[in-house]
Amino acid sequence: MTAGTVDRATAALEQGQEPWGRAWVRSWNEFWFTPADPLPLAVVRICTGLLLAWSCLVWLRDVDAFFGPGGWLPAHEVWRMNDQPWQWSWYFAASSPNAVRVLGGITLAAAVLLTLGVATRLSAVVALAGLVSAANRASLNVFGLDDTLGLLLIPLVIGPAGACLSVDRWLGLAGQGGPSVTAAVALRLLQVQLCVVYFFSGCGKMFGASWWEGTAIWGAVANGHYRTLDLTGLARHPLVTNALTLGTLFWEVAYPAIVWPRLTRRLALAMAVAVHLGIGLSMGMLEFGLAMITANLAFVPAASWRSLARRLL
Amino acid sequence: MSNRSMTASRPTSVPPPASARHWSAAARLLASLAIIVYLAAVTLPPLAGPPPASELAGRLMQPLRPLVGALYLGHGYRFFAPDPGPGHSIRWKMQLTDGSERSGSIPDRDADRPRLLYHRRFMVAEKIAALVPPPDAPEGVRLAARRDWQPLIKGVAGNLLAAHDGVRVRLEMVEHFLPGPDDVVQNRTEPDVVTPLGTYARLKGRAP
């Protein structure tokens, strides 16, 4: 429930205008089911489609090793490691290298069509199936990028992601692109999921002494396998390392609280861009950073996108 | 704080036109149930694992396992937690069919391009390293752990032997020294920790 919704419900309760239970129901309905402009969802769709297409191209660079019968991880070992039969993958059914390539190509095609907004909902469903299949088959090779792409794709399956900025719209197959309840549900799901991710990511860090001591960022900077930008000069500036570490920790934990009020939302989103671009550029995980920034775009209202477009065009 | 300043993020600031279709109470009820189930499937996995984990969350998650598995929602979201640690790589040395030798590393910073490919291969070393105890761990611990990591390392060995047409390959896990700030200032380094992972041979075209 957002701060504004809660404010209105609280005011009504204090004035005795509305019973507590009814105020909850009304606030819930207002939060989830107020028709929303699908434009932000379309922006998320384009960014997600591009990232997924790039990820598919990289999977295809070594497709036999990732998904093939003689790859890094034999299929029977995946079956043993994962929570079967629920963690399914269409690659389990692929018995030949050609079948593996065709399935990888289908995911790439779906990602491209999703980006363009062609048969958008079907493309989103196939893209999600391809992403889940890849992640569940190549368990040894997945990381935060894949988790985030999964969370991004699910709202794109639910909402009218092709209602704006799409070939579907251009062909008149996606309606008028006006506000809809499914757009609201999809955007709200993405917003709430993102809060869950940051909250647990922050809580996980609070187990670690280095996050409390303010030295954790050093641990990431000094790890040569992640490093793409040499920031070991921070060794001579421990207080800067402390500030970066504690700033990251408290921003992550506080994100679910500070992203909703308009007063602090820009700060929360600006921190998200800074943290994820920083990690992306200095630790070689640009795609993961861009995926997290894409998820944050769900908090940018349609009016802001329109205003930006007017200024640019 | 004014009401305006506290107005929450709405998916849109455009008021819905009169033509916008609202859902009936029954539709909202069904959708609300689906939303609650879905959010439970998103929220329970990080509570249910990896350790330390809540037993209650684990039990509540049981009926949601099909949904969590089908939609790939079973994540802990513990990025760089609890503490960023040292990096790992798998060093290999292979005897080829012509008798010559070749060596390499997973990941390979020079050969694994683009960076996303490097990162996907880096994850192989990191995920297997999480299962391999240090060489000075008690023998019982090392033997128990071997049951977990050896099937995975056999897959890695088989993939390397097939890719390079090798006869046998020796693998070792390298935990790279993570310098502290003082180490960097004083230009001090320590040796990496190396754990042997065994030698694996290809048997008549089959994986080891």
Q: Is residue B59 pLDDT above 70, yes or no?
A: yes
Q: Which chain A residue shows the shortest CA-CA distance from B51?
A: A204
Q: In Å, how far are A40, A206, A235, A236, A277 from A239, measured between CA atoms?
A: 39, 19, 10, 9, 21
Quote ipTM for the complex: 0.91
Inter-chain residue contact B82 with A197, CB threshold 8 Å: no
Axis crossing angle, helix A97-116 with helix A120-137, rounded to the nearest 10? 140
Residue A53 CA, distance from chain mean position: 15
Q: Does A253 touch chain B (CB under 8 A)?
A: no
Instruction: Return the closest-CA partner of residue A193 out of A162, A152, A144, A254.
Output: A152
Give the rounded percent of residues in chain A with a pLDDT score beyond 70.
96
Let me know: does B90 contact B105? Beta carbons within 8 Å: yes
pLDDT tens column, A270-309? 999 999 999 999 988 999 999 999 999 999 999 999 999 9
Cβ within 8 Å of B, A 8-47: 28-29, 32-37, 39-40
What element of type H or E holds A24? helix A20-33
Inter-chain residue contact B182 with A235, CB threshold 8 Å: yes
In chain B, domain spans: 26-70, 88-201
Q: Residue A228 class from Cβ within 10 Å (0-12 exposed, 13-18 middle, 19+ buried)?
A: middle
Q: What is the identity of the amino acid at A196? A: V
The whole-angstrom separation of Cα B68 and Cα A136 is: 12
A–B CB contacts, 8 A cutoff, strictly below: 271
Mean pLDDT of chain A: 92
Q: What pLDDT band is residue A226 in, cutting at 50, 70 and 90?
A: confident
- Spell out where A83-210 has E strands: none
Residues B35-43: what's their mean pLDDT?
97
pLDDT tens column, B61-116? 999 999 999 999 999 888 888 889 999 999 999 999 999 999 999 999 999 999 99
What pLDDT does B18 receive?
41
Q: Is residue A85 pLDDT above 90, yes or no?
A: no
Inter-chain residue contact B82 with A204, CB threshold 8 Å: yes
Q: Residue B107: is the preceding peptide bond cis (ω within 30°)?
A: yes
The minimal CB distance from B162 to the residues A70, A208, A302 is found for: A70
Cβ within 8 Å of B, A 56-115: 58-59, 61-62, 65-66, 70-74, 77, 80, 82-83, 85-88
Mean pLDDT of chain B: 87
pLDDT tens column, B175-197? 999 999 999 999 999 999 999 99
Task: Calculate how close chain B gets to A141, using CA atoms only, in Å.
Answer: 5
DSSP code at position A230: -
pLDDT tens column, A126-171? 999 999 999 999 999 999 999 999 999 999 999 999 999 999 999 9
Residues A10-39: what's their mean pLDDT?
87
**What are the phi and psi torsion angles at B92 (to 5°)?**
-135, 150
Range with lowest mean pLDDT among A52-56, A141-145, B16-20: B16-20
Residues of B within 8 A of A224 (CB-CB) are 87, 176
What pLDDT does B144 receive?
93
